[in-house]
């Protein structure tokens, strides 16, 4: 058994690795920021589950949920924000382009994806490393007493 949130994060990783991004090889898409910060080759991309809001009852027995998924691009060198930009743009276009003909997102796992804030960070990293994090708010449904996908 797996939570719907974990399935959604896995699907975002798949979107960014199959086929590989032009700007970042599939082997440089990580699930954990700690592993990515140890990477010898950058830019690299990290996909992590963020917070979840309190669910809303949509129908009797069904909850509407919203998961924050954070996609971070780490880049190193001169002008690291500029180096991160191509991976940020490419990953953003893939994620927001993941709507199916039926109007669902991420192979039917999500009902909607909304763009959230973007954060740029250099504090706490070496001088030549920067992180750009894009947050996506992903809406999905579960049974009222479950966090597994319907």
Is the pLDDT assigned to residue 85 strictly greater than 90? yes
Domain ranges within the chain, ordered by starting residue: 4-143
Residue 91, both tokens: 């990953």
Do 92 and 12 contact (CB within 8 A), yes or no?
Answer: no
* DSSP reduced 3-state for 85: helix
Is the pLDDT assigned to residue 15 strictly greater than 80? yes
Give the model's pLDDT for residue 31.
95
> 4-143: what fold?
STM4215-like (3.30.2000)
This prediction's pTM: 0.91
Beta carbons within 10 angstroms of residue 28's beta carbon: 22
Residue 120 CB-density burial (10 A; 0-12 exposed, 13-18 middle, 19+ buried) = exposed
Label each residue of 99-122 as H, E or C: ECCCCCECCCCECEEEEEEEEEEC
Residue 101, both tokens: 């003909």
The answer to which of 29-33, 37-41, 111-115 has the lowest mean pLDDT is 37-41
pLDDT in tens, 40-63: 889 999 999 999 989 999 889 999
**Strand 29-30 with 44-52, pairing:** parallel
pLDDT in tens, 87-146: 999 999 999 987 776 777 888 899 999 999 999 987 666 678 899 999 999 999 999 999
Give the model's pLDDT for residue 88.
97
Average pLDDT on 59-74 reads 95
Sign of CA dihedral 131, 26, 50, 95: positive
Do 31 and 48 contact (CB within 8 A), yes or no?
Answer: yes
């Amino acid at each position: 058994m797996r939570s719907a949130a974990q399935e959604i994060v896995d699907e975002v990783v798949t979107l960014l690795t199959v086929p590989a991004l032009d700007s970042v090889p599939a082997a440089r898409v990580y699930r954990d920021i700690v592993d990515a910060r140890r990477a010898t080759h950058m830019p690299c991309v990290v996909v992590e589950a963020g917070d979840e809001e309190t669910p809303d009852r949509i129908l009797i027995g069904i909850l509407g949920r919203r998961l924050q998924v954070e996609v971070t691009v780490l880049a190193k060198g001169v002008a690291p924000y500029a180096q991160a930009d191509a991976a940020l743009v490419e990953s953003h276009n893939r994620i927001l382009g993941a709507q199916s003909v039926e109007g669902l997102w991420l192979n039917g796992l999500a009902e909607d994806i909304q763009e959230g804030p973007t954060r740029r960070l250099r504090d706490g990293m070496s001088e030549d490393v920067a992180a750009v994090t894009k947050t996506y708010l992903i809406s999905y449904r579960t049974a009222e007493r479950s966090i597994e996908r319907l």
